[in-house]
Amino acid sequence: MTRYLSGLCVAGLGLCGGGWLVVAAVAFRGESGGRAGRVNVLTGAALVAVCCLSLVCWSCAWRRRLRADGVLADRFPLVSRREARRSRRARGRDERRTARLAERSARGARRAARRAARLTAGGALGEAGAASVLGEGVALGVAAGGDEQYATAEPALAVPAPAAAPVVAGDEGKPGELATELISEIRSMLEPLLAATGGQPMTLPPPAAPLPRRSPFASDLRPRPRLTAAELAAPRVRPAPGPSPRPTPRSIPRLAPGFGPADTTAGTWTGASTDEEDAWW
C-alpha cells in the first residue's frame, strides 16, 4: 500500500506544481519576461500531463491490487443476475428431487427391514424363504426345524456358511455316516504312506551333542578316563617345579568316548590325563 500512496502523493504534488507553473507564467506575464514564461508554461503543461498519467496509473494499479486481495468486488460479475437466479432455481429443484428420492429409498428400506423382521419372528425359516430373504449361501447352512439334533425351542438362527461347504447335518443323511465316510477316505489316502514306512512310526535322529564351550565349567564336561579303585586311592604325584629342559607337547583332548582311539572301546582310557590338558581346557 505504501508504494501506491507514495506514487499518488507525488503525482498529486507534481500536478499541483505543474498547475502552479502554468498559472504563475500566465499571472506574472509581464514580470517573468518572454523566455522564462515560455519555459514555465511548457514545463508546467508537461508536468501536468505526466502527473495526470501517473495518477491514473497508480490508482489503477492500487484498484487492481485491492481487487486481487478481495477488498474490492469485481466490476463485471462473470454471471449475470438473471442467469444466477435461473441457476439458483435449478439447484433448488435438484436438491428437492434428491431429497425426495432419498426419502423414498429410505422408506423402502424400512419396509423391507420390517418385512424381514416379521418373517423372522413368524417362525423358522425354510430354505426357500431363507434363500429369498437372506441369500443362497446363508440358506445352505440353516438347519431345518425338524432335525432332532438342532431343533430347539427357539426359532432356528441363520448361520452364514460358504456355499461349497459340506453339509454335515441335513436331510440327506445322518451325521455319523458322513463322518465315517470321511474317516475312511482319509484312511485310504494314508494307507500308501503307512505301507511305505513299514508300519513303523517315524523316528527322529537324536539331536547332535552341543559343542563344548570354553567356560569355568568346561572341564566338568570333558570326558575323564575311567580309573580303577587303586589308582583313585593312590596319591597323585605332581612333578617338582622347575624349568623343564624340553617343553611337553600339548595333547588334544577328546570330546566324547565315541570319538576316541580304538582301545577306548574296551572300557578303559589309555591316554594319560595331564595337567597340561586341564590347562588347555
26 interacts with other proteins by CB under 8 A: no
72 interacts with other proteins by CB under 8 A: no
Query: In 3D, which of 55, 59, 75 has the Cα closest to residue 67?
Result: 75
53 interacts with other proteins by CB under 8 A: yes
Burial, 197: exposed, middle or buried (Cβ in 10 Å; 0-12, 13-18, 19+)? exposed
Q: Which region among 55-63, 150-158, 219-227, 248-256 touches other proteins (by CB under 8 A)?
A: 55-63
Q: Which of 26, 36, 182, 234 binds other proteins (CB under 8 A)?
A: 36
Minimum distance, C-beta of residue 15 to other proteins, in the bound complex (Å): 9
Q: Which region among 4-12, 113-121, 145-153, 272-280 touches other proteins (by CB under 8 A)?
A: 4-12
5 interacts with other proteins by CB under 8 A: yes
Minimum distance, C-beta of residue 1 to other proteins, in the bound complex (Å): 7
Total of residues contacting other proteins (CB under 8 A)? 39
Question: Which residue number, 7 or 137, has a Cβ lying nearer to other proteins?
Answer: 7
Q: Which of 51, 124, 125, 143 binds other proteins (CB under 8 A)?
A: 51
131 with 119: CB under 8 angstroms? no
Question: Which residue number, 14 or 223, has a Cβ lying nearer to other proteins?
Answer: 14
Q: Which of 22, 26, 40, 66 binds other proteins (CB under 8 A)?
A: 40
Instruction: Give the C-alpha separation, 163 to 136, whole Å.
Output: 8
Minimum distance, C-beta of residue 73 to other proteins, in the bound complex (Å): 20
Residue bearing cell 494499479: 61
50 interacts with other proteins by CB under 8 A: yes
67 interacts with other proteins by CB under 8 A: no
Instruction: Give the C-alpha separation, 226 to 215, whole Å.
Output: 23
Q: Which of 26, 28, 87, 274 binds other proteins (CB under 8 A)?
A: 28
Minimum distance, C-beta of residue 25 to other proteins, in the bound complex (Å): 8
Question: Which residue number, 62 or 281, has a Cβ lying nearer to other proteins?
Answer: 62
Q: Which residues bind other proteins (CB under 8 A)?
A: 1-7, 9-11, 13-14, 17-18, 20-21, 24, 28, 31-33, 35-37, 39-40, 43, 46-47, 50-51, 53-55, 57-58, 60-61, 64
